[in-house]
A and B are shown apart, each in its own frame.
Chain A
Amino acid sequence: MTRLSAVTLVIDDEVQIRRFLRAGFELEGFDVVEASTGLEGIRVATLTPVDLVIVDLGLPDMDGSDIVERLRSWSSVPIIVLTVRSSEQEKVRLLELGADDYIVKPFGMGELLARARAVLRRQQGTIGEPIVRIGSLQIDLAGRTVTRGGSELQLTMKEYKLLQILARHAGTVVTHQQLLKEIWGPSHAHDGHYLRILVRKIRRKIEDNPSQPSLLKTELGVGYRLIGQSNS
Chain B
Amino acid sequence: MWLGACRHLILRDRGVPQESARQSPQSYFATFQRGATAMAMHGWSAGPARPLNWLDYLPGVVQSTGLLPSLALVAALTVCLSIATKFLDLPHVSIVYLIPVLIAATRWGAIPAVASAIGGIASSAYFFYPPLFDWRVSDPQQITDIVLFVGVAVVTGRLADNARAHMSAAQKSEAEVRSLYKFSRRLAAASTVDEILAAARDHVSSTLGRRILLFQANPDEGEPTVASGASGLQQPPHQQLSRAGHSVPRAPPLADDSTWVKRPICESNPTLGTVALDLGHPPPHKVQSLQNQVAVALADVSATLERLDVARALEEARARSSREAFREAIIGSVSHELRTPLAGILGAASILSATPFAAQDKRLAALLDVIRSEAERLDGGIQKLLDASRVSSDGLRPQRVWTDPADLIDAALEPYRRAHAHRFQVLLSDELPLLHIDPILVQQALRLIIDNAVKYSSTESAISVEAEDDGSRILLRVRDHGMGITAEERERLFERFYRGPRHQRLVAGSGLGLWIARAFLVANEGQLEVESAGTDKGTTVTVYLPIRPCPEREARDAT
Contact = CB atoms under 8 A, between A and B. Distances in A.
Interface string B254-275: 0000000000000000000000
A193 B554 contact: yes
Nearest to B375: A106
Interface in A165-224: 176, 184, 191-201, 210-213, 218, 220-221
A211 B355 CA distance: 34
Quick one: which of A82, A105, A220 has the most chain B CB within 10 A?
Answer: A220
A196 B559 CA distance: 11
B347 A20 contact: yes
Quick one: which of B409, B434, B439, B559 has the most chain A CB within 10 A?
Answer: B559
Interface residues of A, number: 45
Interface stretch (A21-29, A36-44, A69-77): A21-29
A88 interface: yes
Contact of A17 (B347, B355, B383, B407): B347
Interface string B343-358: 1111110110011000
Contacts of B308: none
A134 to B, nearest CB: 18
Interface stretch (B91-99, B222-230, B396-404): B396-404
Interface in A97-112: 105-110
A108 B551 CA distance: 40
A85 B440 CA distance: 10
B420 to A, nearest CB: 15
A193 B551 contact: yes
Given A200-B404, A212-B410, A220-B440, A194 B399 contact: no
Q: Is the interface of B mostly helix, strand, loop or mixed?
A: helix
Nearest to B417: A212
B559 A108 contact: no
A24 B410 contact: no
Quick one: which of A108, A110, A200, A211 has the most chain B CB within 10 A?
Answer: A211
Interface string B525-559: 00000000000000000000000001100110111
A23 B353 CA distance: 13
B205 interface: no
A42 B117 CA distance: 104
Contact of B336 (A58, A156, A221): A58
B327 interface: no
B347 A109 contact: yes
* Band of interface residues on B: 35 or more
A158 interface: yes
A16 B346 contact: no
Contacts of A17: 340, 343-344, 347
Contacts of A232: none
Contact of A27 (B351, B401, B408, B434): B351
B93 to A, nearest CB: 99
A231 interface: no
A2 interface: no
Contact of B434 (A106, A159, A193): A193
B347 A21 contact: yes
Interface string B371-392: 0100110010001001000000
B557 A194 contact: yes
A204 to B, nearest CB: 10
A7 interface: no
Nearest to A105: B343
Given A84-B339, A211-B426, A196 B348 contact: no
Given A106-B379, A192-B402, A200-B406, A86 B554 contact: no
A89 interface: yes
19 contacts: A19-B344, A20-B347, A85-B335, A85-B383, A86-B386, A86-B440, A106-B346, A106-B375, A107-B350, A108-B347, A109-B354, A110-B350, A193-B551, A193-B558, A200-B406, A201-B559, A210-B406, A220-B407, A221-B439
